[in-house]
Structure formats: C-alpha cells, structure tokens
Amino acid sequence: MISAGKQIGGLARHSSIYTVSTFVQRALGLIMLPIYTDIRYIPTQSAYGDLSLAYMFISFMNVVYLYGMDAALLRYFFLGTYKRQDVYKTALVSVLISSTVLSLLLFAAAPQLGSLIFEEALYANFIILAAIILFFDGLGNLPFLILRAEERSLTYSAIRIGRFLVEFALNILFVIVLRMEVLGILYANVLASFLNFVVLLPFQAKYMKGKIQKSIWKDLLYFGLPLLPNGLAYLTVEVSDKYLMRLLLDKDTLGIYAPNYKFGSILLFVVLAFRTAWQPFFLKVATQENAKEIYSRVMTYFVLLGVMIVILASYFVDYILPLPLAFGKPVMGPAYQSGMIIIPVILSAYLCYGIYVNLTVGIYIRKKSQLMILFTGLAALVNIGSNLYLMPRYGIMGAALATLLSYLIMAVSIYIANQRIYPVPYEYTRLAFLVSLLVIALFILYAAQPSLIIRLIIVIVIPLLFYGSGFLRPAEIRALKALLSRHN
C-alpha cells in the first residue's frame, strides 16, 4: 500500500498543475481589469454591472445544462460496474440532446429574459450569446472530465491555458481595437468556447466506441439529478448578491462591487483546482485502509494553505490594486477602488467553500448526493435573507458578509452530515489553531488598519508561530527542510 505522504504528494502535484491552468483561465477578468475599469473601453460602472449580470446568468444556467451529469460520470467512471466507454457515450449523448433543447428555448425567450435580468428587452442579444456559450461549454465539460479521471493534468492544463490565450487575444480585438464594450467580451467568449470544443474532440474519440445504455442513463440520472437543485442553490449563494444589488441598490454600485469581488475570488481558483484533482483522488483511494487518515491530513494542509493566502492577500491588496501597470494604468481603476474593503471577507468566504469541498468525501462514497440540497439550500436561504437585511444597511460590505455567512453555513452543515455517514478523524487542534490565527489577523487588519511595515512584520512572524507552537510535526519539519535544501 502506498503511504499517505506519497499519495498526498501526488494530489498536491496534480492540484498545483490544475491551479496554474484554473488561475490562467479564470483570471481573464482580473488580467483585463485595467481595461474593463477604464472608461474609454467600458464607459460606465453600470456597463460593468451589465457584464456581471450576463456572467451571473451564464453561471446559473451552466448548472442546468449539466444537471449533475458531470459528477455522475466521474463517480461511475471509478466506482461503477459498467464499461467506461459506455458510461461516457451515454452521458455525452444525454447532454447533447438536453443542451440543444435548452439553447433553442433560450433563443425563443431571449427578449423576456433580457427584460427580467437587465431591465430591458434590448439585451436579448446578450441572452442569445449566452445560450451559444452554454451549449459549447456544456459539451466541452465532459472530455475535460476524462482528462481528470486519467490524471492527465498537463494536457488538461495546456488546453485550459490555450483557451485563455485565445480569449485574451479576442478580448483585445473586440474591446480595445473594435471598441465593442461588453458585447465584445461576450463575442470573444463565444469564439473561444467553440474552438475549445473543437480541440477537445480527439480526446474523447476512444470513448465514443461505447454503447448508449438505458440502465446506465438511469443510474447517471439517479445520482446526478439530485445535484441539480444543489447546484442551483449553490449558484444562488454565488450570484444572488449581484442580482439583488441591482434591485436593492443600483447598477453603479454593482459595478464597484463586482471587480473587487472578482479579486477576492482568487482563492476560488485554488479551491476549483483542488476540487479538480480531489474528486478523482478520494474516489481512487476510498477502498484503502488508510483512506480516512489521508482525508484528514489533506484537510489540514488545505486549510493551512488557504489561511496563508487569505492573510497575505488581505494584508497587501490595497497596496497592489492601485499600482500602475503598462502605460500607467492601475490594476483597478480609481473609480472602483472604494470597494477593496470587501476583499478579505470574500477571501474568507471561499476558504469556507474549500472546506466544504473537502467534506464532500462521504457524500460521494456513500452515494448520498440527495443530501447536498440540504446544505446548499440552507445556505441559499441564509444568503437571500441576509442580503435583504444587510445590503440596504451596509451596502457592499453587507453583501460580502452575507456571502461569508452562507459559505460558513454550507461548511458546518455538510460537516455534521458527513460525520454521521462517513466519520473522518480530522486534526481538530491544528485546525482550531489555523482558524484562530486567521480571525486574529483579520481583526487586527480591520480594527487597527496597520501600516505597511506592521503588516510585513506580522506576515514574517506567522511562519515562526507555526514552528514555535509545535504546529508542525517533526516529520513535516524534516520534509520542509529537505525541500528547502533542494532549492538552495
């Protein structure tokens, strides 16, 4: 049996590769912030608000287009009794048919949806472009699952990075050269999504030799469909603040909130990359005797990494975003910098989401996907209720706090359920140390607003705390010293 350390090392290796590709792909909005927040290209904060609403709609509908079929495919790829080729082809044909029907429905209802989401039927073209993006992205998701299942992280990442480069170049063309504003961003996404779909075709060729089986389709739906309301509830937590902000406040405020929220979501890149490697990993080791020991150790290491990212980003973000880049443009335009106060809260929210992802182990192994709606549904209700209460009183900070509270509820509720159906002996003392460290660091940040020198001192002292407090175990210290010596 392979040792826990070596297996966690393999997970870390694949996660680090996925992190690069996930960051590169999803960082387009961050990299383009100097352009998107420049009034010469996106003339108003309200227009940036329209962009946020468009991607809110795409995110929400992406869950509907997949209806849990991606998670079901991955589950039966590893733990089912069917041939993998049959599972894949059945899932692909199912998604192809449903995606075609859904896109045609969106085309037909575009004026009505444009009025509902953007307040004007003139935004129907936004809905039509979104439907095309959703169609190709939905079909493109499945071959990416194959690459994950086969642990071809380098190939996966290369294709993701390739899509980013194409979409980045198209953004330059449509937004900067042709001055097409938000519509140009959506055109760039449409073309990049189509090209990504074409590039992925060869990677699924061998799985297309399988047979479509009704029994497989039923099993896929039985596992996947309960995840649909779960996904919709999760997206409610993720995007409802943007829609409610348009109703309770205004589009200009949304325009300030959205880019700062996007910067606060840098930890989400790490969580998504981890999830990409984590799901096939924990399914693969589920039958090992030391599986729970591995899951426990992974949780500790993930929270350690997450806490350090939250502290570092929170302490230095308000020095980074005003920095000038090429041609003297700041990372974020001055008109948007008043929203930086929410970034540490959003970072903390996504740390809670990462903990939630860690805790999905028992749900998958015990095939209890129907429970997922309880966690995300509760979080969605809390999100809507807290936004309705906090947003009118505290503005964008109220919305950020509602997001943090919702993800915390998700993490706590799935922990309670997971420990009942698949108890894992987590390292509670070390986890409590990490959470306490984060709370103290953020309290100092918000209460004292320390100078840059004090922030640097605090960040330097933190690694010494890990060593001096006994947080790090002897084996971990030896491994860390060996790693450092190899790089000297």
The residue assigned the tokens 């706590």 is 412
Q: What's the confidence (pLDDT) of residue 151?
A: 72
Name which of 368, 346, 366 is nearest 264 in CA terms: 346
Burial class (CB in 10 A: 0-12, 13-18, 19+), 386: buried
**Do 210 and 83 form a contact (C-beta atoms < 8 A)?**
yes
Higher pLDDT, 121 or 12: 121
Query: Please, are residues 89 and 291 in contact by the beta-carbon 8 Å criterion?
Result: no
SS3 154: helix
- 4-32 average pLDDT score: 60
Does the pLDDT value for residue 6 go beyond 80?
no
For residue 480, pLDDT beyond 70? no
CA atoms within a 13 Å half-sphere pointing along the CA-CB vector of 237: 29
Structure tokens at 51: 């962009």
Provide the pLDDT for residue 487: 46
Q: Convert the pLDDT of each residue in 306-342 to its tens digit.
A: 999 999 999 998 888 887 765 567 777 777 888 899 9
On average, the pLDDT of the chain sits at: 85
d(CA 57, CA 60) in angstroms, rounded, equals: 5
DSSP symbol at 324: B
Mean per-residue pLDDT, 270-277: 77
Q: Report the alpha-carbon distance of residue 94 to residue 35 in Å, rounded.
A: 40
Closest CA to 254 of 424, 78, 119: 119
pLDDT range class, residue 481, cuts 50, 70, 90: low
**From residue 276, how far is each of 22, 142, 149, 239 by CA, in Å?**
9, 13, 9, 21
User: What average pLDDT does the segment 293-317 reach?
Assistant: 92
Tell me which residue of 255, 314, 258 sits closest to 446, measured CA to CA: 314
Cα angle at 70 between 69 and 73, to 5 degrees? Answer: 80
Question: What distance in Å separates the CA atoms of residue 166 and residue 187, rounded to the nearest whole number?
Answer: 12
Q: In sequence order, what E strands does 144-292 have?
A: none
pLDDT for residue 36? 78
More confident: 329 or 43? 43
- The larger pLDDT score, comparing residue 107 to residue 368, is at 107
User: In the predicted model, is pLDDT for residue 11 greater than 70?
Assistant: no
Residue 259 has pLDDT above 50, yes or no: yes
84-108 and 124-149 are packed helices; what angle lies between their axes, rounded to 10 degrees? 170
pLDDT at 283: 77
pLDDT band at 380 (very low <50, low <70, confident <90, very high): very high
Confidence band (pLDDT; 50, 70, 90) for 1? very low
pLDDT tens track for 124-160: 999 999 999 999 998 988 888 888 777 787 888 888 8
CA 419, chain centre distance (Å)? 25
